[in-house]
A and B are shown apart, each in its own frame.
Chain A
Amino acid sequence: MSTLEVSGLTVRLPPGADRAEAVSGVSFGVERGELLCLVGESGSGKTVIAHAVMGLLPKALALTAGSMRLEGEELTQIGAARRRRLRGSRMAMIFQEPMTALNPVMTCGAQIDEVLRYHTRMAQGERRARVGALLGEVALATELAEAYPHQLSGGQRQRVGIAIALALEPALLIADEPTTALDATTQAQILRLIVELQRRHGMAVLFVTHDFGVVAEIAHRIAVLREGRLVEVGAKHEVLTRPQHEYTRMLIRSVPTLVPRARPVDARAPVVLATRGLSKTYVERGWLRVRREVQAASDVTLEVRKGQTLGIVGESGSGKTTLARCIARLIEPTGGEVRLGGVDLARMKRRELRSLRRRVQVVFQDPYRSLNPRRSVGQAIIEGPLNYGVPRTEALKRARRLMELVGLDPAALGRYPHQFSGGQRQRICIARALALEPELLVADEPVSALDVSVQAQVLALLEDIRTRLELAMLFITHDLRVAAQICDQIAVMQNGRVVEHGPTAQVFAQPRHPYTQALLAAAPGRNYAFATA
């Protein structure tokens, strides 16, 4: 008997959605001691399945057909009270965002204790001992039972979440993108922990993810979802190396490899951007508080040449976005130089800066928020040229050309951002940045918010544009796979400093700094050769 047996599961979407059913006739099983990865892009219905099993579907979604059996017990037939008993004791869930999944006003220990209090008759002393043991099991110090969630790091919070899920030794653990919000090195640790705990307890694990690197790292079997339908189920090695379905093949093909692409680099190309000793210090001051300084970026010296891409790689809080914003002069650096074609922007006043702004343009991370929802795409693209005195008809003509360049229909210029998908919006943002014919394009995590297949297309577009327009590009990313594909040079940042800097191939092959080595070691699925055809 499988721990979880799902068959013919169908969940209807409310009328007016982009399709009739969130999940259509999905069947799969998870055995004891098995880790099944449910893989799919955004909107594929993977989270809906996880929530359906837990009985956490929002009211708007109706379960219309199918059965779900947990250790032989039909979940679709049971009442609310029985379901509540099963949740936590026989099946448990870990969530994506550990900060919001924990209650900020309760200590971590109290939140683990809560599960024990509701589901068992343990005495207080026993419970305290069990909380301590659980914290030990997820490799946290027992003292952290007294800590509040905000006092912990993201990884520690996720460990607390896991401890809560494990408290009653459930037969089934559902993990909904539990490492997506974490840094690479933390992600590697959490994945290791989940695999280890599963082995120790012999649980069945249903692991929802969009990341094939993670899949390669931990899965036993893989189920691939597309628009609510299961397109392929199989053993990990089978699916990753010999995918049967065209969609799976396309997904796996889109995963960028960690092997840097060799590209001839002209070492004599003119330098477009050079920073020297660039620093940004944030000062927190209050009437009655002690002055506090945060070095977001310190002493950064870099060069980007015409037609080349410099990648800035680092985890969250490493200062890479601060650096990008200083270079684009969205914020004022506290020290150092930002030389653009020989002119220093760092100390320039707003008025002088205006004429130079057009030479540096930015593409932001979140394609949903970087376009004004109340302005049409055409208005967005011509805004820059209009600011610099280009006549309207001329600007519109340019906008049409740019739409073609980024692979969109010029007839769509009158439409509004919400009518486009994430990938299309990012193309629009690129067109908007290019409208001013910049010399330097700063791309701040431009593909992090996109699905893997869309990500591949946008990367290809950026690459194409850089070559065609001979742009210098500063590419900021936390994803080593992406960096390997698009960057000629790489600068690794940690705590506001550049700790390693060199040609991409060299940094990947012989990382010198321990931090770079740790980053490379943490990249999920690094040892896996995905199917390439």
Chain B
Amino acid sequence: MLPRNWSVRIGGAALLALILVAIAAPWLGTVDPTLFDAASRDLRPGEVGSITTLEGETLPHRFLMGSDSYGRDIYSRVLYGTRVSLIVGLACAVVALFCGVLLGLIAGYVRAADGLVMRVMDGVMAIPAILIAIAVVALWRASLATVIMAIAIPEIPRVTRLVRSLVLTIREEPYVEAAVALGTSAPNIMFGHILPNTIAPLLVQGTYICAFAILLEAILSFLGVGLPPDIPTWGNIMAEGRVQFVAYPHNVFFPGVFLAVTVLAVNMLGDGLRDTLDPKLAVDEHA
């Protein structure tokens, strides 16, 4: 089944291509992204130089996107960076959605918990996301897991609010009342009746979180508070290229293009999904 919406098609296809690139990175003419060679520093895109393996062997190598000031291959680093970005984006979306759905369901369905949960969420929302992220990374040191948590935590309140408002409308639907009359228990109503009807808006929200997380990860790396600099991420590559930007723009340009395309693809997918899954548009089926 091919989706009819063009935003979904284009965004989905671009994202699929990026995922394939991330998986197939070792077979796309790349070398180990951490390898460097002092003789091949600051090469321009397309120039041929050499690369030294860990065993000390020196091999000739064409630098498709040039090399950085350590003589590392930008092409390999950008391709491997795709892995980090996509993992961070997806993991942040999953973590934020999971926590947000749980809190939102409780806040929306259990009257007594509503006030407490939502005030805590308001508190989290009052702090800028990037500040929380920096604080989390500072507390637990930079690693993939902490960066994911750092980016996901500020997103949780937004998901919670969305889910809570959905639950508040859905819980008034006659089919929920019917379930109450049938003696269905509260957890079964929450997870069996209410949750499945929130999936569509959540999916859309998930794509936005994913796009934002990819961007924020790059920003954190660029600021030097993200993943350690030896891990090739787009933000790290750009941070290192920043100093020489005027002389060697390719250091910033290529990861920048990948970042922009990825975020655009995810957002397009999200917009398209929103249009296809919009309950207001879906109502026409019944009319």
Contact = CB atoms under 8 A, between A and B. Distances in A.
Kindly name the residue among B180, B182, B188, B193 whose own CB sees the greatest number of chain A CB atoms within 10 A: B182
Contact of B183 (A364, A372, A388, A418): A388
Contacts of A366: 174
6 contacts: A358-B182, A362-B178, A365-B174, A369-B173, A372-B175, A375-B193
Interface string B155-181: 000000000000000000111011111
Contacts of A328: 181
A75 to B, nearest CB: 26
Contacts of A364: 174, 177-178
A111 interface: no
Contacts of B178: 362, 364, 370-371, 429, 432
A362 B181 contact: yes
A383 B181 contact: no
Contact of A354 (B174, B175, B183, B193): B183
A387 B174 contact: no
B183 A330 contact: no
Contacts of B184: 383-384, 387
A360 interface: yes
Nearest to A387: B183
B111 interface: no
B1 to A, nearest CB: 16
A370 B181 contact: no
Interface in B72-121: none
Contacts of B185: 387
Interface residues of B, number: 18
Interface in A340-399: 354, 357-358, 360-362, 364-366, 368-375, 383-384, 387-388
A413 interface: no
A206 B184 CA distance: 49
Contacts of B175: 369-372
Given A357-B182, A362-B181, A383-B179, A418 B174 contact: no
B286 interface: yes
B56 to A, nearest CB: 61
Contact of B197 (A370, A372, A384, A436): A372
Given A374-B196, A418-B286, A358 B183 contact: yes
Contacts of A388: 183
A384 B174 contact: no
A384 B185 CA distance: 11
B285 interface: yes
B181 A360 contact: yes
B182 A383 contact: yes
Secondary structure at the A interface, as helix, strand, loop or mixed, is loop
A31 B197 CA distance: 51
Q: Closest 8 interchain pairs by CB?
A: A370-B174, A384-B182, A357-B183, A364-B174, A374-B196, A372-B175, A387-B183, A362-B181
Interface in A419-453: 429, 432-433, 436
Interface residues of A, number: 28
Interface of A: 328, 330, 354, 357-358, 360-362, 364-366, 368-375, 383-384, 387-388, 418, 429, 432-433, 436
Interface of B: 173-175, 177-185, 188, 193, 196-197, 285-286
Given A375-B193, A387-B183, A418-B286, 6 more contacts: A357-B181, A371-B178, A372-B175, A387-B184, A387-B188, A432-B182
Nearest to B181: A362
A370 B183 CA distance: 15
A360 to B, nearest CB: 7
A384 B183 CA distance: 7
A354 B197 CA distance: 25
A372 B286 CA distance: 14
A374 B197 contact: yes
B152 to A, nearest CB: 27
A330 B197 contact: no
A373 B181 contact: no
Contacts of A436: 182-183
Contacts of A358: 182-183
Kindly name the residue among B181, B183, B285, B286 whose own CB sees the greatest number of chain A CB atoms within 10 A: B181
Contacts of A372: 175, 179, 193, 196-197
Nearest to B177: A330
A245 to B, nearest CB: 27
Contacts of A369: 173-175
Given A366-B174, A369-B173, A372-B197, A330 B180 contact: yes
A432 B175 CA distance: 11
Contacts of A371: 175, 178
A138 B189 CA distance: 49
A324 to B, nearest CB: 11
Nearest to A384: B182
Contacts of A354: 183
Nearest to A422: B286
Kindly name the residue among B175, B177, B197, B286 whose own CB sees the greatest number of chain A CB atoms within 10 A: B175
Nearest to A436: B182
A316 to B, nearest CB: 17
A436 B179 CA distance: 12
Contacts of B182: 357-358, 361, 383-384, 387, 432, 436
A449 to B, nearest CB: 11
A361 B180 CA distance: 10
Contacts of A383: 179, 182, 184
Contacts of A373: 197
Contacts of A360: 181
A409 to B, nearest CB: 21
Kindly name the residue among A360, A373, A436 whose own CB sees the greatest number of chain B CB atoms within 10 A: A373
Contacts of B173: 369
A343 to B, nearest CB: 16
B151 to A, nearest CB: 31
Contact of B286 (A362, A368, A370, A433): A368
A372 B285 CA distance: 15
B166 to A, nearest CB: 14
Nearest to B170: A372
Contacts of B286: 368, 418
Nearest to B184: A387
B188 to A, nearest CB: 8
Nearest to A360: B181
A365 B182 CA distance: 17
Contacts of B197: 372-374
A375 B179 CA distance: 12
